[in-house]
Chain A
């Protein structure tokens, strides 16, 4: 052996020993399970801490845990008083009067006042801010006008006097209390935002925190930072965890391995069917619904005459085996859809899952489907029909959904020819909005835990009604829920049930599955509040046993 070869082998051997030795000795910062520290993972880097401009779920989780609002969603999914001492609503449901608790402070010790809420609401609707979530304020007096640049921000129906904030609405909004819990409406201090200017909320050091924790060590790009308990938070005595380490782990299976090594306390296993199947029997599995429905929209403008025919639509709906589809497309991770509103979105007044209560009875029935299809063809004087399904080319589920529908529909309905059209997400949105489709597979996620976040979709003239159908019974039921029944919980549940029934009667849409997930969660960590809308994970009360 040559000398240099010996040297090389020696060096490699030495390196292995040193590395292995120091690693074993714990010199590499191996994590010990510290009782007042938690550790969580996010699958993508966070994008911003800007309260008004954020649209990203994971950034929203960090904003929601480092900020607080007038109300906060509790473990049962109901809004409870947070920074507000009281929230009163007028009998007509058009005015909310909120009194703030006294002595509220930001993380830097400066005082938090009613003006900061007024500023935050004005900032999100201000066209200069260019927030993509300005529409969330729609319904507050003049919010839409201001967002469209047709009115001054000062005219917004959010005003303050002393420690009282008054919200004036244009119409009753059953979901309004939930808006008072939202990350995008958390208080912001005008003088601070102005002072930081363009740098505002681009790093941990250029943001102010009103919540249970403050962010430390986020440089705007790094993949590891932490949430540290905020001693100026009004309810700091009930925040038991001193520090939460956040790391970005982009590979789902790496994250799962880190969970198994005890380095992170909760991880999703729903990213791929393989990952799910490999871990579904783990004792730490918990279900995590997403309040998102995948559904089919039929173009009912007459562009494709078959789809304008109610019998043909009925046939397609009856020919859809949602259970089998969910199994094929998501390996059974998601739940077969039973209606438009997804499971886990909201509860009825009697604490039942809204999706379960309103389910109008979508079913799979091959024989009935065949019969309806023949009747439809007869009405149109045709012997066969051709339809094209548009779906996302850039998501695996987009392709498998269309594959399944094409195969099963053509088998169940002789004489039907199904074509596929797979386009990028952005193109699909454009095609949907311009009615350049026959059938399109759409996804909709709820914004707040109340039915209207879904039922607004298909009201007469609503801009997301891509199929452009008119269903008078549906519109009437939803309008009733949002006006006369806006503040009557159980009456509203009934209205939504009627709306779902009206949708099924005309077969205007075809709900496919409720997107859902599964996670592994460390059983020693309790108190995490998981929300399907708003702040995804609320760690305020999370604690390690």
Chain B
């Protein structure tokens, strides 16, 4: 297994290199410069380019970037004067990650309960209601929910603060809920179908035949086996949530990384675009790796190679 993890990590570094290269050259295609002031004279612009090394041939800029990145120097933001990219991402990513983690925990736990309830009440009213709820949850975008939540619980019944981050836990509740609905809905659908399959399997029939109560059958036999596929779902879901939701961050004025990433593109903030892309790709790959390892641990039939 250690050999397998090592192999995957080497692959990860190689993939990161490819992502870096592709992003770097794609950015060169975009028009304009990071200096957005339309009032800059051509001379002033040339001077700025020289200062930042943007007048060098592209291959040389690319090599400079790679050398810097290999030494842990991802450059300095153009938009946020003087702020290094490491500091910028280092301060914003934890905010997005906390929000994402909260949403993930709330969403998955809610999904597990609703999925199980749905499966056990297959084809009756409860199942139908939960089915409608989860379909809605999957189809309604989180930002619409965010706006509805702001309206209902921020202004109609002002229970929660509607903007900001870091002053109180209550600020995190509405954005967490808005983000949690989609993973909850997905998990519900997933757990439901897995549970229905488990409930009709031989070992559950056997457990029932042995005279165990319905509760024991579900909790001890069906539920645990239905968990395995859910694990494979959590990996990519976590990567998506932890890296920040642009629109939710915008609606609730949360200083996270998602929004920063989007803003950095039109302003051509090269170092930030590069740094964020690298962090995103690394997180996604690490999440997938963790999922694979966990699956192997939970399900002895899976062998890592």
- A463 to chain B: which residues have CB within 8 Å? 41-42
Question: When chains A and B are docked, how far (Å) is the Cα of A394 from the Cα of B47?
Answer: 28
Interface string of A191-230 (1 = CB under 8 A from B): 0000000111110000000000000000111111000000
- B253 to chain A: which residues have CB within 8 Å? 223, 247-251, 254
- B30 to chain A: which residues have CB within 8 Å? 426
Question: When chains A and B are docked, how far (Å) is the Cα of A79 from the Cα of B36?
Answer: 29
Chain A nearest CB, measured from B39 CB (Å): 7
Contact of B251 among A199, A202, A254, A429 (CB under 8 A): A254
In the complex, whether B161 has a CB less than 8 A from a CB of chain A is: yes
Interface bin, chain A: 35 or more
In the complex, whether A147 has a CB less than 8 A from a CB of chain B is: yes
Chain B nearest CB, measured from A194 CB (Å): 14
Question: When chains A and B are docked, how far (Å) is the Cα of A202 from the Cα of B77?
Answer: 11
In the complex, whether A275 has a CB less than 8 A from a CB of chain B is: no
- Residue with the highest number of chain A CB atoms closer than 10 Å, among B38, B88, B165: B38
Q: Which of B20-28, B150-158, B181-189, B203-211 contacts A (4 or more CB under 8 A)?
A: B150-158
Chain A nearest CB, measured from B50 CB (Å): 7
Interface string of B138-156 (1 = CB under 8 A from A): 0000000000001000110
- B88 to chain A: which residues have CB within 8 Å? 220-221
- A202 to chain B: which residues have CB within 8 Å? 80-83, 87
In the complex, whether A332 has a CB less than 8 A from a CB of chain B is: no
Q: Do A257 and B154 have beta carbons less than 8 Å apart?
A: yes
Q: Do B161 and A220 have beta carbons less than 8 Å apart?
A: no
Q: Which of A44-52, A154-162, A470-478 contacts B (4 or more CB under 8 A)?
A: A44-52
Contact of A130 among B52, B92, B154, B155 (CB under 8 A): B52
In the complex, whether B98 has a CB less than 8 A from a CB of chain A is: no
Q: Give the residue name and chain of the B residue nearest to A23 (CB).
A: B159
Chain A nearest CB, measured from B108 CB (Å): 16
Q: Do B91 and A220 have beta carbons less than 8 Å apart?
A: yes
Contact of B159 among A20, A224, A433 (CB under 8 A): A20
Question: When chains A and B are docked, how far (Å) is the Cα of A429 from the Cα of B36?
Answer: 9
Q: Do B254 and A130 have beta carbons less than 8 Å apart?
A: no
Contact of B32 among A28, A200, A251, A430 (CB under 8 A): A430
In the complex, whether A283 has a CB less than 8 A from a CB of chain B is: no
Q: Do A45 and B255 have beta carbons less than 8 Å apart?
A: yes
Known contacts A201-B82, A251-B251, A425-B266; decide if A258 and B39 are in contact (CB<8 Å).
no
Interface string of B112-127 (1 = CB under 8 A from A): 0100010000000000
List residues 131-177 of chain A with CB under 8 A from any CB of chain B: 132-135, 144, 147-149
Q: Give the residue name and chain of the A residue nearest to B116 (CB).
A: A4
In the complex, whether A536 has a CB less than 8 A from a CB of chain B is: no
List residues 25-56 of chain A with CB under 8 A from any CB of chain B: 28-29, 45, 47-48, 50, 53-55
Chain A nearest CB, measured from B159 CB (Å): 6
List residues 49-89 of chain B with CB under 8 A from any CB of chain A: 50-52, 76, 79-84, 87-88
Chain A nearest CB, measured from B94 CB (Å): 10
In the complex, whether A128 has a CB less than 8 A from a CB of chain B is: yes
In the complex, whether B31 has a CB less than 8 A from a CB of chain A is: yes
- Residue with the highest number of chain A CB atoms closer than 10 Å, among B83, B164, B251: B83
Question: When chains A and B are docked, how far (Å) is the Cα of A47 from the Cα of B83?
Answer: 9
Q: Do B82 and A135 have beta carbons less than 8 Å apart?
A: no
Question: When chains A and B are docked, how far (Å) is the Cα of A147 from the Cα of B45?
Answer: 10
Q: Give the residue name and chain of the A residue nearest to B253 (CB).
A: A250
Chain A nearest CB, measured from B237 CB (Å): 23
How many pairs, one residue from A and one from B, have CB atoms within 8 Å of each other in the complex? 154
In the complex, whether B274 has a CB less than 8 A from a CB of chain A is: no
Q: Give the residue name and chain of the A residue nearest to B161 (CB).
A: A28
Q: Do B168 and A148 have beta carbons less than 8 Å apart?
A: no
Chain B nearest CB, measured from A148 CB (Å): 5
Question: When chains A and B are docked, how far (Å) is the Cα of A131 from the Cα of B166?
Answer: 32
- B35 to chain A: which residues have CB within 8 Å? 132
Q: Give the residue name and chain of the B residue nearest to A136 (CB).
A: B39
In the complex, whether A490 has a CB less than 8 A from a CB of chain B is: no
Known contacts A48-B80, A198-B82; decide if A254 and B163 are in contact (CB<8 Å).
yes
Question: When chains A and B are docked, how far (Å) is the Cα of A490 from the Cα of B250?
Answer: 48
Chain A nearest CB, measured from B53 CB (Å): 11
Contact of A254 among B33, B36, B162 (CB under 8 A): B162
Q: Do A254 and B166 have beta carbons less than 8 Å apart?
A: no
Chain A nearest CB, measured from B76 CB (Å): 8
- B167 to chain A: which residues have CB within 8 Å? 29, 224
Question: When chains A and B are docked, how far (Å) is the Cα of A54 from the Cα of B165?
Answer: 25
Q: Do A261 and B82 have beta carbons less than 8 Å apart?
A: no
List residues 460-515 of chain A with CB under 8 A from any CB of chain B: 463-464
Q: Do B51 and A128 have beta carbons less than 8 Å apart?
A: yes
Q: Do B162 and A258 have beta carbons less than 8 Å apart?
A: yes
Question: When chains A and B are docked, how far (Å) is the Cα of A144 from the Cα of B44?
Answer: 9
Contact of B170 among A28, A135, A149, A424 (CB under 8 A): A28
In the complex, whether A111 has a CB less than 8 A from a CB of chain B is: no
Q: Do A223 and B161 have beta carbons less than 8 Å apart?
A: no
In the complex, whether A19 has a CB less than 8 A from a CB of chain B is: yes
Contact of A222 among B80, B83, B163, B166 (CB under 8 A): B166
Q: Which 10 A-B pairs have the closest CB atoms?
A: A426-B32, A48-B81, A53-B81, A427-B31, A130-B51, A221-B91, A250-B253, A426-B31, A132-B37, A47-B80
Besides A147-B44, A426-B36, 20 new A-B residue pairs in contact (Cβ under 8 A), listed by A number: A8-B113, A20-B159, A28-B161, A47-B81, A48-B83, A50-B82, A127-B50, A130-B52, A132-B37, A220-B91, A221-B92, A222-B166, A251-B250, A254-B162, A257-B162, A258-B163, A423-B31, A424-B32, A424-B266, A426-B33
Residue positions of A touching B, CB distance < 8 A: 4-5, 8, 19-20, 23, 28-29, 45, 47-48, 50, 53-55, 127-128, 130, 132-135, 144, 147-149, 198-202, 219-224, 247-251, 254, 257-258, 261, 394, 423-427, 429-430, 433, 444, 447, 463-464
Residue positions of B touching A, CB distance < 8 A: 30-33, 35-44, 47-48, 50-52, 76, 79-84, 87-88, 91-92, 95, 113, 117, 150, 154-155, 158-168, 170, 250-251, 253-255, 266, 268
15 intermolecular pairs with C-beta atoms under 8 Å apart: A19-B170, A23-B159, A28-B168, A47-B80, A53-B82, A127-B50, A127-B51, A219-B91, A221-B91, A248-B253, A249-B253, A250-B251, A251-B251, A426-B32, A426-B266
